[in-house]
Every structure is written in C-alpha cells, then in structure tokens.
C-alpha cells in the first residue's frame, strides 16, 4: 500500500498540465496547451499504441462541394437515435472543417484523386464525406502528424510505459495523478495545475473487441473513483465486421469495405441485410450487429461472411493494410469472403463533460472517447470519433488555458492502492455474455451478483495488470448498473425484456459515487 506525501518517493514530476493519453485527442490538446505552459503527455504503453492508431474507417467532415454541415449534423442526430446533445453535435460538425484544414497544414496526408480530396461514403451518411489516409490507416496518419507537431514544441515532454493509477487532489480539486512506471513498478506523483483525461476507450473489458490492449477503460474508472459523474456508459457500440478466425485477434474490417460494395452473406452465400433495413449493409452499426447475431443464432454458426471478392486487385490497392493483415492468416479478400462477427468497438458514454471538456471535478477535463459530451447519442455515426478527438481535444485544452488555475502543489497526500484477485479473462467473458449486444434484466442482475463476489485487498506494489483488472471490473459494473436501469431498447442498448424505445428514457444516464443510484437527465 502506498500513501503519504511526495517526499516518500524517489521521483516526482511537476508541470503545468498533465495529459493522460497519447492518441488524437491527447496530442491535439498538448499542442494547444504548450502555448501556455509546460505539458507532460503520459502514455500507458508506447506513445504510438492507442485506439487512434487502429482507426481505419476515416474521419467524417463536411468539406466536399456536395455536402454541408447541416447535412452532417442531421445524419449524426439520426444515428444517435434521439439521444444526441444537439449543441455538442453542432459544435462537432461546425468546427470540424477548420480542424481538418489545420491537420492538412500540419502535414496530415489524406487520399486524393487528381489533386482533390477523395471523400468516401459510409454507413448512415447521406453524403460522401469520409476522408481516408492510405486507404485504411487514417487514425495512424492523423496521430503521426499531431505527434510530429507536438514533439517539436519545447514545452511538451512525453513519458511512456507509465500507467496512471489515480488522480491526486489538493483542497478538493484535481492537482495531478499517480503514475506507475511499467519497468520499475515505482509510483511517481505527477503534479500539475490541470489534468486532461484522453485515455481512449474501454473495448478491452470485453472478450471480443477490435480495441488495442491499452483500451481497458482506465480513465472512466479513475474518474469514477475520484467522484466524477459518468454518463451513458451503457451504450457500447459493437463493430459488425471483425475478422473471426480462431486464434487470431479480432482485427477490424472497416465499414469502408461495405461502403465500397462489400456484402454480408450467411453460410449458404445469401445476403441477409436486404430485408432488414433500407440501407442493407450500410445500415447503422447497431442494426447490422444485431442482424448478424440473429443470423448466427439462426444458423448455429460462429460467424457470417463479408465478401468484396471478384474485382481484381481492388481490395489490395484500396485497403492495403486490411488486405495484408488478412493475407497473413491465409485470407485473400480479392479472391474470397472473410468470416466476421461483431466485436466491442466504441464507447458512446464515459466521463460526463460540457462542451468545453469540463468534468464535474475542478481541475479535471476530458476529451475523446473517454468523454461523454452527448455528441454520439445512443449510437455513433461512422467516422465521427476521430473528428471528436480533434475538435474536443482542441476545445478542452483552450478552456484549460483560459481557466485561472493555481500553481502545481508542493506536496499532496497519495491514495492507498487495492488490488482485486481474479482472472481478467473471466471478467471479459462475463461482460460479453451478460452485458453485450443483447441484454436482459436477469442477465444484468446476474452480472452484478458475480461482480460483487470479487474482493479487494491492499497491494504493496501496484502493477499495470492489477490496475487494468481493477478498471475492467469497475467499468463492467457501471455498464451493468446503467443498462439495468435503462428499461428500454435504444441505439446500441438492446433489452430483450424491454424491446421498445420509450420517451421517458430519452434522457442521459448519470451515475457517480456521490449519487450511487442511476438517474436520467
């Protein structure tokens, strides 16, 4: 158990701003914050291991001649299934074009045809407005460009392989965080005027996920422990088409494949989406995911198939990263369909923030997937996530700069640390089975009963694995509690015992340690 004041440790770091997370939202924020002071960017793994790196689908923005921000706004609201925050959506689509232009000025390279930006169509979009980089490496390219800008700034420093355990407080406000050095196991206080959570997603709390190993919901869990409000955490988007090969990772097969004409087939080679939704394979992700699950159940099959074969070497040229990854495990997408099934992909909810990234805790901001601005509602519109990271990363950091923040503290008390013995794989299987695409009241109650059986104990030397287990348990419990309280079906949340969408639940779920019962506002 660690406790006491910072003098008890061999090292402490003091800066103006701490950014927890090195993805698109964190890097964009670091660039802005560097104008006003010293910035420390902390990453749990390497600086290049984040959900942004794996974002294939693209970034949606109303920049083409046939598009406008009102159409992008309308599509986002429809996909959100009645639960978007209209002001948040208007901010996203309105500020998006300038942010994309800024990315291009900073060196981000988007695919072009004849010198003009190449806009693609994806599911639930009424216009072709999705930009890609190198076909299927959009997140990686944006992260690269932002990192190059941030790394060139003398006020920005980086610390990798440092999992953040908890937030630190002084006089009731957030004044830093405690990081655990991955190599030495040492607890290192990071003292700051303000802290930005940009920790990304939580898909790794599920057994089947497209997310990288680092996406264990750490930001949501530490904000919850600190007393912040958590909102809409029950809405977890499952990507319909993750590669399903036993022994291989659930690699995401981008929605852009379906945008280019890929069809979903059952084991008999029959399309099954045509009668499910007018947009067929391009229906919103929650619709496609549930249709796939139903088709798998009907056939007693572990997967369905995604087929874009028969067009020469189209896939190899248009989606080189996807094609090469599948080829490594013996699937040539230009010649054969790929087995696919849904996998946890994106969290619409998270740490509640206003439009400036402010959480309910003084001194703490959040941006990107860890935050819940209400921009995605109950079901995220494809390719809005990278845009959210850029737009709200910039907004949150500007607000931090404008805030009258006190100097970093000289010393603070550190929290004790407790670990929870158990198997993280058991936790992830529980989440997928009882808190997944289709839920029931009985199943959610069973999940909460089983989660309550995990006991905590003091830990002398906190580790990344222990931190991730604790975060996974916390996040699964929050999902189960909020899903149990939402007695309806909406967007990515489907209750078999409450199949209808109800007006009384057209509100955002809210939960905090201070108000332990789930409220709807």
Is 156 inside a domain boundary? no
The per-residue pLDDT of the chain, averaged, comes to 91
**CATH (domain of 454):** 1.20.58.100
> Residues 34-84: pLDDT tens digits?
999 999 999 998 776 555 544 456 899 999 999 999 999 999 999 999 999
Q: For the chain, how many structural domains are there in total?
A: 2
Q: Which residue has the higher pLDDT, 463 or 76?
A: 76
Closest of 188, 199, 315 to residue 256, by C-alpha: 315
> Residues 321-361: pLDDT tens digits?
899 999 999 999 999 999 999 999 999 999 999 999 999 99
| pLDDT tier, 187 (very low <50, low <70, confident <90, very high otherwise) | confident
pLDDT of residue 9: 45
Claim to verify: residue 422 and residue 327 sit in the same structural domain = no
Is 204 inside a domain boundary? no
> Residues 134-156: pLDDT tens digits?
866 788 999 999 999 999 999 99
Q: How are beta strands 457-458 and 194-197 bridged, if at all?
A: unpaired
Question: How far apart (Å, rounded) are the C-alpha atoms in residues 505 and 356?
Answer: 26
Cα dist. 519→91, 196, 239, 404, 511 in Å?
Answer: 26, 26, 28, 32, 6
| pLDDT tier, 7 (very low <50, low <70, confident <90, very high otherwise) | very low
The whole-model pTM stands at 0.90
Claim to verify: residue 425 and residue 331 sit in the same structural domain = no
**CATH (domain of 288):** 3.90.700.10
Residue 352: helix, strand or coil by DSSP? strand
| pLDDT tier, 462 (very low <50, low <70, confident <90, very high otherwise) | confident
Measured from the Cβ of residue 15, the count of other Cβ atoms closer than 10 Å reads 20
Which residues form the catalytic set? Answer: 285
Question: How far apart (Å, rounded) are the C-alpha atoms in residues 482 and 516?
Answer: 11
Taking residues 244-258, what's their average pLDDT? 85
Taking residues 115-123, what's their average pLDDT? 87
pLDDT of residue 1: 32
CA atoms lying within 13 Å on the CB side of residue 507 = 14
H helix runs in 61-154, sequence order: 69-79, 86-105, 138-151
Is 493 inside a domain boundary? yes
Q: Which of 73-82, 189-198, 246-255, 465-474 has the lowest mean pLDDT?
A: 246-255
pLDDT of residue 147: 94
CA atoms lying within 13 Å on the CB side of residue 72 = 29
Is 432 inside a domain boundary? yes
Domain boundary among 314, 342, 370: 342
Taking residues 284-308, what's their average pLDDT? 92
With a pLDDT cut of 70, the percent of the chain lying above it is 95
Is 503 inside a domain boundary? yes
Closest of 187, 380, 408 to residue 289, by C-alpha: 380
DSSP conformation letters of 176-236 = EEEEEETTT--EEEEE-SEEEE-----GGGSSSBSS-TT-S-HHHHHHHHHT--EESTT-E
Phi, psi of 405 (to 5 degrees): -90, 140
Domain that holds residue 259: 239-342
Is 112 inside a domain boundary? no
Is 246 inside a domain boundary? yes
Cα dist. 86→13, 73, 83, 91, 111 in Å?
Answer: 40, 8, 9, 9, 30
pLDDT of residue 2: 35
CA dihedral 237, 239, 244, 248 (to 10 degrees): -80
Domain boundary among 288, 314, 342: 342
Domain boundary among 342, 364, 381: 342
Is 331 inside a domain boundary? yes
pLDDT at 185 over 90: no
> Residues 225-237: pLDDT tens digits?
999 999 999 999 9
Closest of 323, 393, 382, 319 to residue 353, by C-alpha: 393
């Amino acid at each position: 158990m660690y406790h006491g004041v910072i003098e008890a440790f061999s090292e402490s770091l003091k800066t103006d701003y701490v950014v927890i997370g090195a993805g698109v939202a964190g890097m964009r924020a670091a660039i802005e914050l560097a104008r006003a002071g010293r910035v420390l960017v902390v990453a749990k793994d390497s600086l290049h291991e984040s959900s942004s790196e794996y974002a294939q689908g693209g970034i949606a923005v109303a920049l083409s001649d046939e598009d406008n921000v009102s159409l992008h706004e309308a599509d986002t609201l429809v996909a959100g299934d009645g639960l978007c925050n209209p002001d948040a959506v208007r901010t996203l689509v309105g500020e998006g074009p300038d942010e994309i232009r800024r990315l291009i000025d900073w060196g981000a390279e988007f695919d072009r045809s004849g010198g003009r930006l190449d806009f693609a169509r994806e599911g639930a979009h009424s216009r072709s407005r999705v930009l890609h980089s190198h076909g299927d490496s959009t997140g990686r390219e944006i992260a690269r460009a932002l990192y190059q800008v941030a790394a060139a700034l003398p006020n920005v420093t980086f610390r990798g392989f440092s999992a953040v355990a908890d937030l630190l407080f002084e006089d009731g406000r957030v004044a830093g965080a405690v990081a655990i050095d991955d190599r030495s196991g040492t607890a290192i206080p990071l003292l700051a005027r303000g802290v930005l959570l940009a920790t990304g997603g939580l898909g790794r709390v599920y057994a089947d996920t497209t997310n990288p190993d680092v996406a264990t919901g750490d930001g949501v869990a530490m904000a919850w422990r600190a007393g912040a409000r958590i909102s809409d955490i029950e809405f977890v988007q499952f990507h319909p088409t993750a590669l399903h090969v036993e022994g291989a990772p659930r690699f995401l097969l981008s929605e852009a494949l379906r945008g280019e004409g890929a069809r979903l087939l059952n084991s008999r080679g029959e399309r099954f989406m045509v009668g499910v939704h007018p947009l067929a394979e391009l229906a919103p992700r929650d619709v496609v995911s549930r249709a796939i699950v139903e088709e798998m159940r009907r056939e007693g099959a572990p997967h369905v198939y995604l087929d874009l074969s028969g067009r020469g070497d189209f896939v190899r040229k248009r989606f080189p990263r996807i094609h090469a990854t599948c080829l490594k495990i013996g699937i040539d997408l230009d010649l054969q369909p790929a087995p696919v099934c849904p996998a946890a992909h994106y969290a619409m909810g998270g740490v509640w923030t206003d439009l400036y990234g402010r959480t309910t805790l003084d001194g703490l901001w959040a941006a990107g997937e860890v935050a819940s601005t209400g921009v995605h509602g109950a079901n995220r519109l494809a390719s809005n996530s990278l845009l959210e990271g850029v737009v709200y990363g910039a907004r949150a950091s500007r607000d931090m700069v404008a805030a009258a923040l006190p100097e970093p503290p000289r010393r603070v008390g550190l929290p004790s640390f407790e670990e929870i013995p158990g198997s993280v794989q058991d936790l992830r299987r529980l989440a997928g089975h009882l808190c997944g695409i289709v839920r029931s009241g009985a199943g959610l109650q069973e999940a909460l009963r089983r989660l309550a059986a995990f006991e905590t104990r003091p830990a002398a030397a906190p580790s990344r694995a222990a931190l991730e287990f604790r975060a996974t348990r916390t996040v699964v419990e929050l999902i189960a509690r909020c899903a149990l309280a939402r007695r309806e079906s909406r967007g990515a949340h489907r209750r078999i015992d409450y199949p209808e969408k109800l007006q009384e639940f057209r509100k955002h779920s809210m939960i905090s340690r201070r108000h332990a019962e789930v409220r709807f506002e």
